[in-house]
Amino acid sequence: MNGDRTRVLVAGGGGFIGGWLARDLIARGHEVRCADIKPLDEWFQVHAEVENLVLDLRDIACSRQAVAGMSQAYNLAADMGGMGFIETHKADCMLSVLINTHLLLAARDAGVARYFYASSACVYAADKQTSADVTALREQDAYPAMPEDGYGWEKLFSERMCRHFREDYGLETRVARFHNVYGPHGTYDGGREKAPAAICRKVIQAKLSGTRDIEIWGDGLQTRSFMYIDDCIGGINRIMNSDIRDPINLGSSELVSINHLVNIVEEIAGVRLVRRYNPDAPKGVRGRNSDNALIRRLLGWEPSTPLLVGMRKTHDWIAMMMTGRGTPPTPAAS
Q: What are phi and psi of 19, to 5 degrees?
A: -65, -40
CB 302 within 8 A of CB 253: yes
Query: What does the alpha-carbon distance between residue 297 and residue 146 come to, in Å, rounded to a whole number?
Result: 27
Query: What does the alpha-carbon distance between residue 156 and residue 160 come to, in Å, rounded to a whole number?
Result: 7
Query: What does the alpha-carbon distance between residue 140 and residue 125 come to, in Å, rounded to a whole number?
Result: 10
Active-site residue flag, 151:
yes
Which of 330, 305, 334 minimizes the C-alpha distance to 233?
A: 334
Which of 250, 79, 107, 99 minimizes the C-alpha distance to 173?
A: 107
- The catalytic residue among 74, 117, 124, 151 is 151
**Active site (catalytic) residues:** 151
